[in-house]
Amino acid sequence: MRKGILLVNLGTPDSPAVADVRKYLAEFLMDERVIDIHPFLRLLLVRGIIVPFRGPRSAKLYGQIWNSQTGSPLKYYSRLQQQLLQAELGEDYVVELGMRYQTPSIEAALNKLLAAGVDSIHVIPLFPQYASATTGSVMAEVMRLLSRWVVIPQLTLAGAFYGHPMFIQAFAANISRYDLSDFDHILFSFHGLPVRQLQSSYHNGHHCGQEGCCDRLTPQNQHCYTAQCHETARLIAQEISLKATDYTVCFQSRLGKQKWIRPYTSSVIRDLAASGKKRVLVVCPAFVADCLETIQEIAAECREEFIQAGGSDLLLVESLNDSPLFIRMLREISEVPKGHLWA
């Protein structure tokens, strides 16, 4: 019997047209794990304010990263990762791709696995660090959909891979394409989260959210998004022999007025320029594929901000995209531990 692998990434609009971007934002932001407030307030905020006003602005940004041949970079690289993993795993496996929002949907991907006759499904959310808004939401959606099936296959869910040696080596390999002596500072910029979402993630006797409480991963905070981001940065830095003073961990992509994890990438960039740093290299290890948040926010907007503040240049390290080391990591975590299957 063949084993099913379901890769899941966040999702992207079907096109950069305002209507498609609004549809995407509405589905994404109506997720109770993404905007975790009272459902009525969420409806008012998302449908009444964010979608109408942010839609046209985001559509313009998507228009700038859209490739006329291959479309959305996030979808293109996620498909490539699916195809490369399928080639790596061979005929005993069927690898499908689902997006948490928009297309291809998780439901369509699960139905393809069902039609292929797989006897087990292993889900790999393509987020290195755990957040309720991403990995948690993917897991909840897969379980919701499968709970309607009459015959529910053996289901396994892969957790966060923020410290997997091959993931760390894959980013280190991409960074080593640059001559580090050419740069004054390295930034590890992760997608941010509202601090309130960390405060509600009580786990193992630990409450997150105080300033600096999760700058290091410990046995108590190992499920904390912030702590996992810091650990990823520490391991990559160690792999490429950076000193603690050579790099800064920061958080990008804020939405709304509430407090998000600090320091903010935009403030760090301004401070670096003010302190005389001229050339900065940015690594974004919360993303395994280049997307709006890397190509547009970092390589375009942050670069311009840095230059306007007095810097000379700011470059983005490519994400893992078709990295052979990353595909090997996916192969390794695709193999269900022995003892779970008798077939």
Ligand X SMILES: C=CC1=C(C)c2cc3[nH]c(cc4nc(cc5[nH]c(cc1n2)c(C)c5CCC(=O)O)C(CCC(=O)O)=C4C)c(C)c3C=C
Contacts to ligand X by CB under 6 A: 10, 12, 25, 34, 54, 58, 72, 74, 127, 131, 133-134, 191, 193-194, 197, 253, 255, 286-287, 291-293
User: Min. distance of Cβ 27 from Fe ion in angstroms?
Assistant: 13
> Could you count the other beta carbons within 10 Å of the beta carbon of residue 69?
5
Instruction: Report the C-alpha gap between 21 and 14 in whole angstroms.
Output: 8
Reported as type and span, the H/E element at residue 109 is helix 106-115
For residue 265, give both structure tokens.
Answer: 């990438």
Closest to ligand X by CB, 259 vs 340, is 259
Binding-residue pattern over the window 128 to 167 for Fe ion, x denoting contact by CB under 5 A: ----------------------------------------
Closest to Fe ion by CB, 66 vs 178, is 66
For residue 303, give both structure tokens.
Answer: 């670069």
Q: State yes or no: residue 229 binds Fe ion (CB under 5 A).
A: no
Closest to ligand X by CB, 127 vs 326, is 127
User: Min. distance of Cβ 135 from ligand X in angstroms?
Assistant: 9
252 contact choice in Fe ion, ligand X, none (CB below 5 to 8 Å, kind-dependent): none
* Residue 207 assigned as binding residue: no
Instruction: Report the C-alpha gap between 278 and 167 in whole angstroms.
Output: 29
34 contact choice in Fe ion, ligand X, none (CB below 5 to 8 Å, kind-dependent): ligand X
* Ranges assigned E (strand) in 54-92: none
For residue 273, give both structure tokens.
Answer: 């320029």
User: Min. distance of Cβ 253 from Fe ion in angstroms?
Assistant: 5
Binding-residue pattern over the window 198 to 227 for Fe ion, x denoting contact by CB under 5 A: ----------x-----x------x--x-x-
134 contact choice in Fe ion, ligand X, none (CB below 5 to 8 Å, kind-dependent): ligand X
User: Min. distance of Cβ 203 from ligand X in angstroms?
Assistant: 17
* Residue 191 assigned as binding residue: yes
User: Min. distance of Cβ 214 from Fe ion in angstroms?
Assistant: 3
> Could you count the other beta carbons within 10 Å of the beta carbon of residue 54?
16
46 contact choice in ligand X, Fe ion, none (CB below 5 to 8 Å, kind-dependent): none
Residue of 301, 320, 133, 140 lying closest to 232 (CA atoms): 320
171 contact choice in Fe ion, ligand X, none (CB below 5 to 8 Å, kind-dependent): none
For residue 257, give both structure tokens.
Answer: 């007025």
HEC string for 23-55: HHHHHHHCCCCCCCCCHHHHHHHHHHHHHHHHH
Closest to ligand X by CB, 58 vs 248, is 58
Place of tokens 């889900």: 123
**Chain-centre distance of CA 200, in angstroms?**
21
**Chain-centre distance of CA 149, in angstroms?**
29
* In contact, 152 and 121? CB cutoff 8 Å: no
User: Min. distance of Cβ 259 from ligand X in angstroms?
Assistant: 12
For residue 198, give both structure tokens.
Answer: 């960390």
User: Min. distance of Cβ 32 from ligand X in angstroms?
Assistant: 11
Place of tokens 């228009």: 63
Binding site for Fe ion (CB under 5 A): 208, 214, 221, 224, 226
Residue stretches of the annotated binding site for Fe(2+): 191, 293
Residue set of the binding site: 191, 293
